[in-house]
């Protein structure tokens, strides 16, 4: 049976003193990781002024160094994304008033293109770290963070909202406080799905890596040492061999952090599965087996959990630990009405400023044109998400129910999800020019190429979480075929699918900026749509029309989430 999380029971009291053979096997790996990341971190902070050229070479011998710098940025962004997700989900689930603000806010943040975040963040970071490369590095990390955080936050929020009723009743019987519920019940229950979405978020960071590492500011192009800048330079030079080397370097990096980071975490998180018998669904990790056999690691981990437990005891002692319901209604109807009035006032002021902006700077005909382009992109997004769902939901359920295969395809799926669509430009341009294909139709698949994997990863995690007892009961009752899908599989994975579809939809809107405007050398293919509009306005430096395009994209995503995805989300919440 799924157990409430207790860190003090994580390790046995009897330990072998002194290092053993597993310690000596792990020591080179640990030292290599520490030294490599330490060296890369030192390179992130050094004197730099805007306008100074950072040399990027297409020599393949530099790729290990560029890969190291890129992976450090991505893991730094992932750490901040995880912290953001924990705070966001805990507050949104516990406090209904906060949820009414945070969920629409997340819709807005998800819909803002990475170019929009980068344009906002680059100047403050450079000013904060004046004369130091760390400012540009922080801007790149922030851009990667924006491609990772929203998916993880939605996943954790959805998992915490769908904790089984019997576990909620057990928490009430044991009179757990809100903090205790989060630490001992909700976070462990959400852990498997959160880890799968962390893998997807890492892949999402790769997808937008070129935009994050090749930065334009004050008319200057800054290319930070990394795989993204290497790819950008290779595309500018039309160097197909360099692109091939970049693909191989990406594959090597993904395999490394899959084996050294995600695979051990997934195997460790398997103990939080909600079922009485583990069956044949356990994940395996050679590194986790080594760590469990290591006396140094076990002793260090035991000390870490002891100190963490002491800190949690202090935290609980200094806060109100009275038992709460899972959702806190801490405001009176009067405060609720005041909050609604404040939101309405903000909306009216924003609408007024928007009308003034449109009337004085862009004109109503331009707004009509941009909304029409938004409708074209909306049509592409919905068709592509529907097609991706028809393909990947059955495949994902099949993979999730067979861990022996899921472990084999895990790294492959991460690589495909991480594959930057920019690397497909040579093939796409050559095929479309040779066959005289319409960009409005044949550029569309590029929008979903990197985002369809949100559906795959979420549904795989949902299918892997189906209790083995439920599957055995269905087999014993002779349930098979479409009836089994209708009564067992689809209801079980529906909440996870909705989370994946929401994030895939938002990611597709962002990807439209890359997919609807394709350039290879001097050849440019443009599809009519909101993404190509924003991309073209960004290249010409028309700030007013960039703001208009981003605003319209936010409106479309918010309306789609509110009146379509949100309805399905509530349905999944009610039936979970």
What distance in Å separates the CA atoms of residue 264 and residue 268, rounded to the nearest whole number? 6
The pLDDT-based confidence of 576 (bands split at 50, 70, 90) is low
Instruction: Measure CA 80 to chain center.
Output: 12
- Reported as a pLDDT band with limits 50, 70 and 90, residue 83 is very high
Give the DSSP H/E element, type plus range, for residue 383.
helix 364-400
Burial 325-347 (b: 16+ CB within 10 A, else e): ebeeeeeeeeeeeeeeeeeeeee
What CATH number is given for 26-273+282-330 in this structure?
Answer: 1.10.3720.10
Domain positions in the chain: 26-273+282-330, 363-576
User: Distance between terminal CA atoms of the chain?
Assistant: 18
Maximum alpha-carbon separation in the chain? 77
Percent with pLDDT over 90 in the chain? 11
Is the pLDDT reported for residue 415 higher than 70?
A: yes
Pair 417, 457: CB distance under 8 Å: yes
How many Cα neighbours within 13 Å face the side chain of 185? 24
Is residue 220 helix, strand or coil? Answer: strand
Q: How much of the chain exceeds pLDDT 70, in percent? A: 82
Q: What is the DSSP string of 109-165?
A: HHHS-HHHHHHHHHHHHHHHTTTBTHHHHHHHHHHHHHTTHHHHHHHHHHHHHT--H
**How many Å apart are CA 121 and CA 30, to the nearest integer?**
34
Q: Which option is the CATH number for 363-576: 1.10.3720.10, 3.30.70.2660, 1.10.10.10, 1.10.10.60? A: 1.10.3720.10
d(CA 205, CA 420): 9
Q: Provide the 3-class DSSP secondary structure of residue 215.
A: strand
Closest CA to 78 of 203, 231, 244: 203
What mean pLDDT comes out for the span 125-146?
87
Instruction: Determine the Cα–Cα distance for residues 467 and 277; give it in Å rounded to an integer.
Output: 8
pLDDT digit string, tens, across residues 267-322? 887 777 665 444 454 667 788 888 778 777 777 777 776 776 666 556 555 554 44
DSSP string, 485-536: IIIIIHHHHHHHHHHHHHHHHHHHHHHHHHHSEEEETTEEEE-SSHHHHHHH
- Residue 77 parent element (H or E): helix 63-94
If you average pLDDT over residues 238-247, what whole number do you get? 87
527 phi/psi in degrees, rounded to 5: -105, 140
Range from 73-87, 252-266, 280-294 that averages highest in pLDDT: 73-87
Residue 12: pLDDT band by 50, 70, 90 thresholds? very low
**36-47 burial: b if 16+ Cβ within 10 Å, else e:** eeeebeeebeee
Q: How far is CA 340 from the centre of its chain?
A: 31
**Whole-number pLDDT of residue 4:** 45
**Residue 512 is encoded by which pair of tokens?**
């439209």
* Confidence bin at 1 (pLDDT 50/70/90): very low
3-state helix, strand, coil in the chain (%, to 5): 75, 5, 20
Can you read off the two tokens belonging to residue 479? 């349930």
Nearest to 70 by CA among 140, 6, 123: 140
Per-residue pLDDT at 573: 67
CA distance 535 to 546: 8
Task: Measure CA 479 to chain center.
Answer: 36
Distance CA 184, CA 176 (A): 9
**CA pair distance 120, 43, nearest whole angstrom:** 25
The answer to whether the Cα torsion of 163, 165, 167, 168 is positive or negative is positive
User: What tokens does 227 get?
Assistant: 């795989």
Give the Cβ contact number of residue 418 at 10 Å: 23
Is 26-273+282-330's fold the same as 363-576's? yes
Cβ contact 204:450 at 8 Å: yes
pLDDT band at 62 (very low <50, low <70, confident <90, very high): very high
Q: What is the pLDDT of residue 295?
A: 77
Give the closest residue to 354 by CA, choosing from 114, 104, 547, 109.
547
Place of tokens 């018998």: 277
**Token code pair at residue 316:** 């609980």
**pLDDT given at position 11:** 42
Write down the pLDDT at residue 323.
Answer: 46
Question: d(Cα 74, Cα 204) in Å, to the nearest integer?
Answer: 10
pLDDT (0 to 100) of residue 3: 44
**pLDDT on residue 411:** 67
pLDDT greater than 90 at residue 64: yes
Q: How far apart are CA 80 and CA 77, in angstroms?
A: 5
């Amino acid at each position: 049976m799924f157990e409430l999380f207790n860190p003090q029971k994580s390790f046995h009291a009897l330990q072998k003193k002194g290092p053993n053979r597993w310690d000596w096997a792990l020591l080179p790996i640990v030292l290599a990781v520490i030294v490599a990341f330490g060296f890369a971190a030192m390179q992130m902070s050094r004197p730099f002024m805007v306008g100074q050229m950072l040399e990027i070479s297409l020599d393949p011998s530099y790729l290990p160094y560029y890969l190291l710098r890129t992976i450090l940025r991505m893991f730094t962004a992932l750490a901040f994304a995880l912290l953001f997700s924990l705070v966001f989900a805990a507050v949104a689930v516990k406090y209904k008033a906060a949820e009414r603000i945070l969920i629409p806010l997340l819709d807005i943040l998800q819909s803002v293109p990475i170019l929009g975040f980068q344009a906002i963040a680059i100047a403050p970071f450079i000013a904060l770290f004046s004369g130091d490369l760390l400012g540009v590095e922080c801007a790149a990390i922030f851009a990667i963070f924006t491609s990772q955080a929203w998916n993880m936050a939605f996943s954790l929020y959805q998992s915490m909202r769908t904790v089984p009723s019997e576990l909620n009743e057990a928490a009430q019987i044991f009179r757990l406080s809100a903090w205790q519920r989060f630490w001992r019940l909700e976070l462990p229950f959400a852990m498997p799905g959160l880890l799968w979405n962390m893998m997807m978020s890492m892949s999402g960071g790769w997808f937008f890596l070129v935009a994050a590492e090749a930065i334009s500011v004050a008319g200057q192009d800054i290319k930070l040492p990394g795989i993204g800048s290497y790819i950008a330079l290779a595309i500018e030079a039309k160097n197909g061999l360099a692109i091939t080397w970049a693909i191989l370097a990406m594959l090597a990096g993904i395999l490394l952090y899959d084996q050294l980071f995600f695979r051990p975490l997934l195997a460790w998180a398997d103990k939080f599965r909600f079922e009485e018998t583990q069956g044949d669904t356990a994940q395996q990790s050679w590194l986790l087996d080594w760590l469990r056999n290591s006396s140094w690691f076990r002793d260090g981990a035991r000390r870490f959990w002891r100190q963490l437990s002491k800190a949690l005891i202090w935290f609980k002692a200094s806060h109100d630990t009275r038992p709460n319901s899972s959702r806190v209604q801490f405001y009176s109807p009067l405060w609720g009405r005041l909050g609604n009035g404040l939101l309405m006032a903000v909306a009216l002021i924003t609408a007024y400023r928007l009308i003034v902006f449109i009337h004085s700077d862009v004109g109503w005909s331009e707004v009509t044109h941009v909304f029409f382009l938004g409708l074209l992109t909306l049509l592409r997004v919905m068709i592509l998400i529907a097609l991706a769902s028809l393909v990947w939901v059955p495949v994902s359920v099949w993979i999730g129910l067979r861990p022996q295969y899921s472990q084999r395809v895990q790294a492959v799926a991460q690589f495909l999800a991480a594959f930057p669509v920019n690397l497909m430009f040579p093939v796409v341009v050559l095929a479309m020019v040779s066959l005289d294909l319409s960009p409005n139709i044949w550029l569309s698949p590029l929008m979903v190429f990197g985002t369809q994997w949100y559906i795959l990863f979420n549904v795989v995690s949902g299918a892997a979480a189906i209790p083995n007892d439920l599957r055995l009961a269905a087999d014993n009752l002779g349930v098979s075929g479409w009836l089994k899908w209708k009564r067992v599989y689809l209801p079980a994975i529906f909440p996870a699918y909705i989370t994946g579809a929401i994030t895939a939809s938002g990611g597709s809107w962002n990807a439209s900026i890359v997919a609807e405007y394709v350039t290879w050398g001097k050849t440019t293919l443009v599809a009519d749509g909101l993404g190509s509009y924003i991309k073209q306005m960004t290249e010409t430096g028309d700030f007013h029309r960039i703001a208009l395009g981003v605003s319209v994209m936010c409106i479309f995503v918010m309306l789609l989430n509110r009146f379509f995805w949100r309805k399905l989300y509530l349905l999944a919440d009610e039936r979970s």
